[in-house]
Amino acid sequence: MEGRVMKSTGSWYEVLGADGRKYNCRLQGKLRLEEIKENNPITIGDRVELLLDQNDISITEIKPRDNHILRQSVKKASHSQVLAANVDQVLLLATLKHPRTSLGFIDRFLVSAESFRIPQLLVFNKKDLFSQEDGILVNSYQQLYSTIGVTMMTISAKDDKDIEGVKSLLTNKTTLVAGHSGVGKSTMLNRLSTQIRQNVREVSDFTDKGTHTTTFAEMFTIDNTTFVIDTPGIKEWGLVEMEQQEISDYFPEMRALRLACKFGSRCLHLTEPNCRVRRAVEERTVSVSRYNSYISMVMGEDNRK
């Protein structure tokens, strides 16, 4: 029987079988060895083959992945982790305050997803806390991100109508939900289905940051064909194995221009002569904030302030 990995705790996996039941299972012995050799552990979202014995259920096969999403530790460059596999899209949940999500962080995340060719949704939460100025700011973000093909939405996770709007973006897909601790990922998922009952906790008044309430990733179903993955809050998002020259490929608005640069695909769009991307920044057809995020990535700075 086929199944899909919903949760992984050490050597045990929770797998949703094609029969709609959940099974706790381990890897078959032979597979365990191969897994170590290939350094390709089973991850959430993996499609697997299950073997049901009378008193034992095990995973006998991992199906080829359509895609995967990795994150790399900024401090330990060699340390990257497969977060999930077979995802149709990523949803970055962001907030203007309690806590604040910077544009640099958002762009770094979007670029990373783009490098795995995974479509992105950007959702700003906690709009009930917005001042008038915040509303104007978020509208300008909406303008910016819609021009580069990112679907953006502004919500309050506590508002039923907003939750219906989010649901319509998720239907029939597998979506990985990511964002800083405290932005309301688990709150939003709890509202999407009564089956989801994740712990949520208030943002600290003192640091204005979340308290890392969700500690491991887990996949849930909203209906038979709609899957969502709740993940622990992330502080930073490292770029995985990306060449300097490659980075502008993952900025859709720069990708189209870069071959018009004098140095073509070798141009880093910094101080090179006749750079088409820099001209676009001067003409404001590429936004200054996106270009600043780009420079920070090329210079290898991380997005921590």
72, 101, 125, 287: residue in contact with ligand GTP (rule CB under 6 A): 125
For the chain, the first-to-last Cα distance in angstroms comes to 49
Q: Does 213 bind ligand GTP (CB under 6 A)?
A: yes
User: Residue 237 has which token pair?
Assistant: 């998002």
Residue 22: count other Cβ atoms within 10 Å of its Cβ.
Answer: 14
Q: Rounded to an integer, what distance in angstroms lies between the CA atom of residue 151 and that of residue 290?
A: 16
Residue 120, contacted partner among ligand GTP, Mg ion, Zn ion, none, CB below 5-8 A by kind:
none
Among Mg ion, ligand GTP, Zn ion, none, what binds residue 26 when CB lies within 5 to 8 Å by partner kind?
Answer: none
Site string for Zn ion, 18-37 (x = CB under 5 A): --------------------
Ranges assigned E (strand) in 137-279: 151-154, 174-178, 218-223, 226-230
Quote the strand ranges of 165-278, DSSP E. Answer: 174-178, 218-223, 226-230
* Range in contact with Zn ion (rule: CB under 5 A) among 62-70, 178-186, 216-224, 267-275: 267-275
Residue 99 contact partner, candidates Mg ion, ligand GTP, Zn ion, none, CB within 5 to 8 A by sort of partner: none
Tell me the DSSP string of 99-149.
Answer: S---HHHHHHHHHHHHHTT--EEEEE--GGG--HHHHHHHHHHHHHHHHTT
Question: Is residue 79 helix, strand or coil?
Answer: coil
Site map for ligand GTP, 223-252, x if CB under 6 A?
Answer: ---------xx-------------------
Give SS3 for 15: strand
Q: What b/e string do you get for 25-60 counting C-beta neighbours within 10 Å, with b at 16 or more? A: bebbeebeeeeeeeeeebbbbbbbebeeeeeebbbe
Residues 175-194: x where in contact with ligand GTP by CB under 6 A, - otherwise, as a string: ----x-xxxxxxx-------
- DSSP-based helix, strand, coil % in the chain, nearest 5: 30, 25, 45
CB of 301 to ligand GTP, least distance (A): 24
Asked whether position 254 contacts Zn ion by CB under 5 A, the answer is: no
Nearest-Å Rg of the Cα atoms of the chain is 21
Binding residues for Zn ion, total number by CB under 5 A: 5
Tell me: does residue 275 bind Zn ion (CB under 5 A): yes
Residue 275 interacts with which of ligand GTP, Zn ion, Mg ion, none, CB < 5 to 8 Å by class: Zn ion
Q: Of 113 and 217, which has the nearer Cβ to Mg ion?
A: 217
Q: Does 261 bind Zn ion (CB under 5 A)?
A: yes
User: What is the nearest approach in angstroms of ligand GTP to the Cβ of residue 217?
Assistant: 11
Establish how many alpha carbons lie within 13 A of residue 214's alpha carbon, considering only the half-sphere containing its beta carbon.
28
Residue 39 CA from chain centroid, whole number: 22
158 binds ligand GTP (CB under 6 A): yes
Among 214, 221, 248, 293, binds Mg ion (CB under 5 A): 214
Q: Is 125 in the site for Mg ion (CB under 5 A)?
A: no
User: What are the residues binding Zn ion (CB under 5 A)?
Assistant: 261, 267, 269, 275, 277
User: What are the residues binding ligand GTP (CB under 6 A)?
Assistant: 125-126, 128-129, 156-158, 179, 181-187, 200-203, 210-214, 232-233
